[in-house]
Amino acid sequence: MRGEEKQTIPTKQPIHSERMGDRQTLRIPREYELASDEVFLHKKGERHIIEPIRKPSLLALLATREPISDPFPDVDEGEQ
């Protein structure tokens, strides 16, 4: 079927790096785009590993909070 071919991502691809003062930047191709603006960078031996920092969803954050014990006002009160 035409147009339904899956695009395969190469397992290894050379990318360009640049030095900017005391920092080094990498140009990551779109097919390797990260799902986050922040990442963890660590080394295992000679390998540099980049992992996106996943921020918890609002529901996950709310699930860690204590229930609210204050009574809520009746917003319909006073309407006739």
**Total tally of structural domains belonging to the chain:** 1
Whether 2 shows a pLDDT value over 80: the answer reads no
* Rounded Cα gap, residues 39 and 28, in angstroms: 13
Which secondary structure element, helix H or strand E, spans residue 58, and what is its range? helix 58-63
pLDDT, mean over the chain: 84
* Rounded Cα gap, residues 49 and 40, in angstroms: 8
Range of the domain at 29: 17-56
pLDDT tens-digit profile of 26-66?
Answer: 888 888 888 888 999 999 999 999 999 988 889 988 899 99
Residue 50: inside a domain, yes or no? yes
Residue 72: inside a domain, yes or no? no
Question: What letter would DSSP give residue 2?
Answer: T
* Rounded Cα gap, residues 73 and 56, in angstroms: 30
Residue 34: inside a domain, yes or no? yes
What is this structure's pTM? 0.51
What are the start-end ranges of the E strands in 1-80?
17-20, 23-26, 39-44, 47-52
Whether 23 shows a pLDDT value over 90: the answer reads yes
